[in-house]
Structure 1
Amino acid sequence: MRPYLLQALLFITLFCSFTFKKNEKPIYNSKIRTEVNRDSIIEYAKKYLDTPYKYAGSDPKKGFDCSGFVSYVFKNFGMTLPRSSGSYKNLGKALKPEDFKVGDILVFYGYKDRTVVGHLGIICEANGMHSKFIHASSGKAQKVTITALDTEHYTKRFYKCIDVLSE
């Protein structure tokens, strides 16, 4: 009978160690997020370079679309962002190019309709309108890639840049 008692005690100990966790809370202090996580966000996003583009995708094993990629990356840092690129049209305050920072989100109109938001990316090298951004491209690349903002295709479609980390 004792071996069963020992097994039961071991099971309860293991069960409790996996189910009862410390009362950890995510850091929401914008100063800490701004200083610490901007580079971490890009480092994390770059892990998914070359992940295939997939319409409505938000899973690195299957592929990403642009908003799926952005929301997936920020979710890793405890932030819930809209899953649809159109939801970014009225989100945040537009930044001036000289205020662009790594980790800010670039918002673009669709390539056919300049009234509808159709694409998103995350700034990975901040330099105003000469910044570079990481995004899930449905264009020629068909994958998560890094692109210069000052290419004609994107400067014509640029709508705004927003800072979701300092809000």
Structure 2
Amino acid sequence: MLVVCRIALLVLCALSLGGCAFSVGGREPVPLAPGQETVLETAKALVGTPYRPAGESPDQGFDCSGFVKWVYARHGIRLPRRTQDQLMAGRPVPREELKAGDLIFFAPSGKLSSLHVGIFDGHGGFIHSPSPGGRVRQEYLLAPYWRSSYYAANRVLR
């Protein structure tokens, strides 16, 4: 029981501190446009799909850019295959103006050669295919790891 209480306290502290240093989107939920909702539904339906280097489909698994490319292709939006090229697609968006469906990019090692991409969910989280051994999942953008490695965002939906 003591361990559970300590973990809960740690999580609450981390969340309260995280909110001071980084904000995402507006303070009030904004209704999703039809294109945003369907992209998110497609992405959420793939949660649990295994990560696979260079993977581009639910059958073979996904890497991060393959996941994003596949989701958007289902909705008639062609994106480049590589994360670095996806960074150049669409238009840049300040993190305070993020909307559901925006692409968010991370540079965990601080290098552009190791960019990571996911799809913002409109509620402070994002959906992505993380790394070898992982599965497509939804995570909280304000978690310390993601907050500290956030790099940029762009909008490909109108």
State the TM-score, normalized to the length of structure 1: 0.70
Residue 146 in structure 1 maps to residue 138 in structure 2:
yes
For the pair 1:77 / 2:81, whether they are aligned, the reply is no
**1: CA distance, partners of 2:148 / 2:56:** 27
Residue 129 of structure 2 corresponds to residue 136 of structure 1: yes
Shift of 1:113: 4.1
Contact 1:102 1:123 in 2 (8 A): yes
Instruction: Provide the C-alpha distance between the structure 1 equivalents of 2:109 and 2:93, rounded to a whole number of angstroms.
Output: 24
Unaligned residue ranges in structure 2 (runs of 5+):
1-31
- In structure 1, distance between residues paired with 2:42 and 2:102: 14
The answer (yes or no) to whether the contact 2:55–2:66 under 8 Å persists in 1 is yes
Instruction: Name structure 1 gaps, 5 residues minimum.
Output: 1-33
For 1:113 and 1:58, the matched residues in 2 are separated by: 25
What RMSD, in angstroms, separates the aligned Cα atoms of the two structures? Answer: 1.8
C-alpha separation between the residues in 1 aligned to 2:87 and 2:40? 23
How many angstroms apart in 2 are the aligned matches of 1:115 and 1:36?
32
Secondary structure class of the residue paired with 1:116: helix
SS at match of 1:51: coil
Residue equivalent to 1:8 = none
TM superposition shift of 1:94: 2.4
Amino acid at match of 1:90: M
DSSP 3-state at the match of 2:157: coil
Share of identical aligned residues, percent?
A: 31
Partner AA of 2:128 in structure 1: H
- What amino acid does structure 1 have at the position aligned with 2:131? S
Supply the distance in 2 between the matched residues of 1:164 and 1:48 (Cα, whole angstroms).
20
Alpha-carbon deviation of 1:63?
Answer: 0.4
CA distance in 1, matches of 2:119, 2:48: 15
Q: Computing the radius of gyration over CA atoms, which structure comes out larger, 1 or 2?
A: 1
Distance 1:89 1:105 in 2: 8
Greater RCO (Cα-Cα under 8 Å, separation 6 or more): 2
Match of 2:116 in 1: 119
1:157 is displaced (CA, Å) by 1.4
Given that 1:132 and 1:146 are in contact with CA atoms closer than 8 Å, whether structure 2 keeps it comes out as yes
Q: What is the number of equivalent residue pairs in this alignment?
A: 127
CA distance in 2, matches of 1:114, 1:151: 20
Partners of 2:84 and 2:113 within 8 A in 1: yes
